Amino acid sequence: MTKILFVCLGNICRSPAAHGVFQKLINEAGLQDKFQVDSCGTGSWHIGHQPDERMQKAALKKGYDLSRLTARKLALKDFKQFDYILAMDTRNLADIIKLAPDHYQGRIQLFLDYADDKNLLEVPDPYYGGEQGFERVINLIESGCEGLFEKVVNVAHA
């Protein structure tokens, strides 16, 4: 079983979107038994909340239902449990690295390292912006998830 954790700040916009998009790729490939997908935030403001309405709307437009996800905070036990710990932006990355025991540092990466377009670095925080920001988030997340999917499926089958 390969375990993948998407991490952002609030766990109500970017990482739940990545969770929903990647889970759908896994489901459509019939690989639910081989992969566990989850998401969380480095902050605690939104623990227990559903994804932001604006994120849910932008995701649903592209066929992803995020309504059953609830926010939680990154915990120490996540480092042991997850094989891939993927940060949405460089601030998230720095916060995760700070919290992680040395032994698990190698599991932590920027999510968009998996996107085909190597100019993409971060999924920008859309929280204080307009609707367009959420659409851009979904598009960026789809490209990262496609690249990630190819990588992890190949590794799992190797």
Catalytic residues: 8, 14, 125
Amino acid in the structure at residue 6: F
**Binding marks (x or -) toward ligand 4NP, 125..154, rule CB under 6 A?**
x-x---------------------------
| Backbone φ, ψ for residue 103 (5° rounding) | -60, -25
Name residues contacting ligand 4NP, limited to 45-104 (CB under 6 A): 45
With CB under 6 A as the rule, give the number of residues binding ligand 4NP: 11
Applying CB under 6 A, among 4, 5, 8, 69 the residue interacting with ligand 4NP is 8
**Least Å from the CB of residue 132 to ligand 4NP:** 15
Contacts of 81 by beta carbon, 8 Å cutoff, 6+ apart: 3, 5
Which of these segments, 3-11, 29-37, 101-109, 112-120, binds ligand 4NP (CB under 6 A)?
Answer: 3-11
Q: In the 3-class helix/strand/coil scheme, how is 128-141 assigned residue by residue? A: CCCHHHHHHHHHHH
Which of these segments, 10-18, 20-28, 60-68, 114-122, binds ligand 4NP (CB under 6 A)?
Answer: 10-18
Furthest-apart CA pair in the chain: how many Å? 43
CA-wise closest residue to 14 among 118, 125, 98: 125
- The tokens describing 83, both together, are 């094989």
**Least Å from the CB of residue 102 to ligand 4NP:** 26
**Least Å from the CB of residue 8 to ligand 4NP:** 3
Q: Going along the chain, which residue ranges are E strands? A: 2-8, 35-41, 84-87, 108-110
Q: In what order do the strands lie in the sheet with 84-87?
A: 35-41, 2-8, 84-87, 108-110
Residue 12 contacts ligand 4NP per CB under 6 A: yes
Residue 19 contacts ligand 4NP per CB under 6 A: no
Name the residues that contact ligand 4NP, by CB under 6 A.
Answer: 8-14, 41, 45, 125, 127
